[in-house]
Chain A
Amino acid sequence: MTTTETVHDRIGTARDELTTGQLLAVFAFVAALTFVLLFLQEPLAHDSMHNFRHAVGVTCH
Chain B
Amino acid sequence: MLVDYLERGVLAGVIAGLAYGLYMALVANPLLGYMETVAEGGEHGDHASAGEHAHAAGEHAHEAGEHAHAVSEATTAAVSIGGGVLWGILLGGVFALAFYFLEPALPGRGRVKTYVLAGAGFLAVSLAPWLVLPPTTPGAEQAFDPTFRSALYAGMMAVGAVVAAGSIYGYRRVSARSRPIGVVTAAVPIVALVAITAVAAPTIVEIGAMPAELVAAFRGITVLSQAALWALVAGCFGWLQTRAGVRPAAERRDDLLTSP
Footprint of B on A, CB under 8 Å?
3-7, 9-11, 13-14, 17-18, 26, 30, 33-34, 37-39, 41, 43-44, 46-61
In whole Å, how far is A31's beta carbon from the nearest beta carbon of chain B?
A: 10
Q: Are A10 and B101 within 8 A (Cβ)? A: yes
Residues of A within 8 A of B94 (CB): 30
- Cα–Cα, bound, A15→B32 (Å): 45
Q: Which of A38, A47, A51 contacts B29 (CB 8 A)?
A: A51
Residues of A within 8 A of B256 (CB): 3
Contact A49/B70 with A3-B256, A4-B253 known, Cβ cut-off 8 Å: no
Q: Are B86 and A33 within 8 A (Cβ)? A: yes
Q: Which of B77, B126, B134, B135 contacts A51 (CB 8 A)?
A: B77
- Cα–Cα, bound, A11→B101 (Å): 6
In whole Å, how far is B90's beta carbon from the nearest beta carbon of chain A?
A: 5
In whole Å, how far is B120's beta carbon from the nearest beta carbon of chain A?
A: 14
- Cα–Cα, bound, A56→B144 (Å): 20
In whole Å, how far is B136's beta carbon from the nearest beta carbon of chain A?
A: 6
Contact A48/B104 with A30-B90, A54-B136, A61-B62 known, Cβ cut-off 8 Å: no
Contact digits for B28-71, partner A, Cβ 8 Å, 1 yes 0 no: 11001100000000000000000000000000101000010111
Interface of A is mostly: helix
Residues of B within 8 A of A57 (CB): 126, 130, 134-136, 219, 222-223, 226
Contact A59/B71 with A47-B76, A49-B80 known, Cβ cut-off 8 Å: no
Q: Which of A5, A43, A51, A59 contacts B104 (CB 8 A)?
A: A5
In whole Å, how far is A21's beta carbon from the nearest beta carbon of chain B?
A: 14
Residues of B within 8 A of A10 (CB): 100-101, 103-104
In whole Å, how far is B215's beta carbon from the nearest beta carbon of chain A?
A: 12
In whole Å, how far is A7's beta carbon from the nearest beta carbon of chain B?
A: 5
21 pairs from A and B in contact (CB 8 Å cutoff): A4-B253, A9-B104, A11-B101, A13-B2, A14-B100, A17-B1, A17-B2, A18-B3, A33-B86, A33-B90, A37-B83, A39-B150, A51-B29, A52-B84, A53-B83, A55-B23, A55-B28, A55-B222, A57-B226, A61-B62, A61-B142
- Cα–Cα, bound, A7→B243 (Å): 24
